[in-house]
Amino acid sequence: MTARLSERTLAALPRQVARPAYQRAAIVPGIVHLGLGAFHRAHQAVMTEAVLGAGARDWGIVAASLRSPDTRDALAPQDGLYTVATREDDAETLQVVGALVGIVVAPEAPHALLAAMADPSVRIVSLSVTEKGYCHDPATGRLDEAHPEIRHDLATPAAPRSAPGFLAEALHQRRAAGVAPFTVLCCDNLPANGATVRRVVARLASLRDRGFGDWVGNEVAFPSTMVDRIVPATTAEDRARVGASLGVEDAWPVVGERFIQWVIEDRFPAGRPDWAIAGATFTADVAPFELMKLRMLNGAHSALAYLGYLAGHETVAEAAADPVFEKFLRGLWAEIAPSVPPPPGVDLGDYAARLLARFRNRALRHRTWQIAMDGSQKLPQRLLGPLRAARREGRPARHIVHALAGWMRYVIGQDERGAAIDVRDPLRAELREAAAPGLAEPRLVASRLLGISAVFGEDLAADAELSRAFQDALETLARQGSRAGLQAMEI
């Protein structure tokens, strides 16, 4: 049996594998991170690793899984160590990261997690819990007060389940103990993510006690961030390949592209690591970076996910290499770009060209199915924002509408060969009900889905011309299929 990656085996790794350049035992936790997924481990943890490597000691990360014990079970026997494999086509580099100095599984030990968050040495609580983890209404960005986890957390605040519930209770404990609040650092792809999380947590807090809600709204900092690195779910093949290169087993490495970007609003009253040394950008205004990334990158990703999946493309790299899709992407970007005020020094044409190259990275198997998940939570900021801007300004939006119709076609739940699609979405029941008339009645399905206000708000369904455009697009997709439908688009 091969040995396992751990403190003990670290010294025996091949020379070219980067590893912690500091004494891990001397590191004190300064950050609690909620959401121990692949993205965090390849993004914020890597940037923090560089800060620790440069000599800072007080920014170790205690990371918490809010659901499953799987990552803890994989990493605990490895002393929290794991590998980041950076791949671009044929090139690969490996780095073992030591920044995770503690791992908690929230459902097993909610009190231990709260104690870590309430510890005065912790000055930042960061999050990557995906869009749906905030228990908000995606169309309005407000707390969904009927959400089962929110109802639970209001009934039992001292043993929460949701991310907002943990934030509210830990802040409550700090306030009661006279400890300054931590800064809440959202690392998810939400629009105006700092302000959105502030609104959600302050509302939850005020449902507990009005004065507490005001305190959260006024005294706690929620800087906004734009986060970017493509990090697909790790596969069995990735594990085997990384293990072979290391010479020891790593039960859960992560694999990502070389590109990494983090733009952070510089508002950390309790202090922060100097992530700039790892390439992060601190700025007063994240909004233009965030709009560009959510709309140009994530919007195109979702379009490729639905239309690509339907066309039989298993990965983004496959879809983006298909000339029919490339042409579609160019048309989509041309419609999205006018809704994006370019951040200082950025040319949107160059940005789009770079995105196409990133999507085509053959070394990543980023499944279209993975990105297709949770569309109801993603589409408002990715594609509906640009659609509203186009309608307001009288600009064409055929590609945007077609991409959204791709989602509608996808949630009908049957692929082009008649096989069932495993549609994952917190609104799955509602989507399934709306899409029930199925492929036989695409026009009806389009208007029923458009009527789901948690996704589309009230305004889009009221736009008669737009409703017809959705009906036409879904009919084309249902009749002709995704790829032939794109070919038939007269652009």
x/- string (CB under 6 A) for ligand CS2, residues 149-188?
----------------------------------------
Task: Identify the residue among 49, 137, 228, 249 touching ligand CS2 (CB under 6 A).
Answer: 228
Report the sign of the C-alpha dihedral through residues 444, 445, 446, 447, in that order. Answer: positive
Residue type for position 176: A
Q: Which stretch binds ligand CS2 (CB under 6 A): 119-127, 222-230, 242-250, 440-448?
A: 222-230
Nearest residue to 328 (alpha-carbon basis) of 340, 347, 313: 313
Asked whether 245 and 267 are in contact (CB, 8 A), the reply is no
The nearer residue to ligand CS2, 367 or 448, going by C-beta atoms, is 367
Q: In the complex, what is the shortest distance from the CB of residue 398 to ligand CS2, in angstroms, rounded to a whole number? A: 22
Q: Which stretch binds ligand CS2 (CB under 6 A): 17-25, 146-154, 225-233, 386-394?
A: 225-233
Q: In the complex, what is the shortest distance from the CB of residue 378 to ligand CS2, in angstroms, rounded to a whole number? A: 6
x/- string (CB under 6 A) for ligand CS2, residues 76-115?
----------------------------------------
Q: In the complex, what is the shortest distance from the CB of residue 438 to ligand CS2, in angstroms, rounded to a whole number? A: 26
Q: In the complex, what is the shortest distance from the CB of residue 402 to ligand CS2, in angstroms, rounded to a whole number? A: 18
Q: Which stretch binds ligand CS2 (CB under 6 A): 160-168, 228-236, 328-336, 420-428?
A: 228-236
Interface with ligand CS2, residue 358, by CB under 6 A: no
Task: Identify the residue among 189, 245, 339, 368 touching ligand CS2 (CB under 6 A).
Answer: 189
Nearest residue to 388 (alpha-carbon basis) of 400, 399, 372, 378: 400
Query: Angle at Cα 326 formed by Cα 323 and Cα 332, nearest 5°?
Result: 145
Give CA–CA dist 1/333, Å, rounded: 50
Nearest residue to 117 (alpha-carbon basis) of 153, 147, 71, 160: 160
The token pair at 458 is 């009230």
Residue nearest to ligand CS2 (CB): 301
H-helix segments, 295-424: 299-310, 316-321, 323-336, 348-359, 368-372, 375-379, 385-392, 398-411
The nearer residue to ligand CS2, 371 or 455, going by C-beta atoms, is 371
The nearer residue to ligand CS2, 301 or 402, going by C-beta atoms, is 301
Q: Which stretch binds ligand CS2 (CB under 6 A): 29-37, 161-169, 370-378, 399-407?
A: 370-378
Interface with ligand CS2, residue 371, by CB under 6 A: yes
The nearer residue to ligand CS2, 114 or 379, going by C-beta atoms, is 379
Give CA–CA dist 136/451, Å, rounded: 19
The nearer residue to ligand CS2, 8 or 424, going by C-beta atoms, is 424
The nearer residue to ligand CS2, 370 or 447, going by C-beta atoms, is 370
Q: In the complex, what is the shortest distance from the CB of residue 60 to ligand CS2, in angstroms, rounded to a whole number? A: 25
Nearest residue to 312 (alpha-carbon basis) of 130, 68, 482, 128: 482
Q: Which residue do the tokens 């599984």 mark? A: 105
Asked whether 150 and 464 are in contact (CB, 8 A), the reply is no
Interface with ligand CS2, residue 298, by CB under 6 A: yes
The nearer residue to ligand CS2, 372 or 466, going by C-beta atoms, is 372
Interface with ligand CS2, residue 368, by CB under 6 A: no
For 301-338, letters b (16+ CB in 10 Å) and e give bbbbbbbbbbbbbebbbbbbebebbeebbebbbbbbbe
| Torsion angle in degrees (nearest 10) through CA of 412, 414, 418, 422 | -170
Q: In the complex, what is the shortest distance from the CB of residue 200 to ligand CS2, in angstroms, rounded to a whole number? A: 20
Task: Identify the residue among 226, 230, 379, 404 touching ligand CS2 (CB under 6 A).
Answer: 230
**Residues binding ligand CS2: what is the number (CB under 6 A)?**
9
Q: In the complex, what is the shortest distance from the CB of residue 193 to ligand CS2, in angstroms, rounded to a whole number? A: 12
Asked whether 472 and 402 are in contact (CB, 8 A), the reply is no
The nearer residue to ligand CS2, 141 or 375, going by C-beta atoms, is 375
Asked whether 172 and 212 are in contact (CB, 8 A), the reply is yes
The nearer residue to ligand CS2, 39 or 215, going by C-beta atoms, is 39
Interface with ligand CS2, residue 322, by CB under 6 A: no
The nearer residue to ligand CS2, 189 or 206, going by C-beta atoms, is 189
Task: Identify the residue among 147, 172, 301, 409 touching ligand CS2 (CB under 6 A).
Answer: 301
Q: Which residues contact 322 (CB under 8 A, 6 or more apart)?
A: 308, 311, 313, 483
- Contacts of range 341-348, beta carbons closer than 8 Å, 24 or more positions apart: 341/288, 341/291, 342/288, 342/292, 343/288, 343/289, 343/292, 344/288, 346/292, 348/292, 348/296
What order do you get walking across the sheet with 91-97 strand by strand?
91-97, 82-88, 254-256
Q: Which residues contact 419 (CB under 8 A, 6 or more apart)?
A: none
The nearer residue to ligand CS2, 173 or 261, going by C-beta atoms, is 261
Task: Identify the residue among 132, 147, 229, 402 touching ligand CS2 (CB under 6 A).
Answer: 229
Q: Under the rule (CB under 6 A), what is the footprint of ligand CS2?
A: 189, 228-230, 298, 301, 370-371, 378
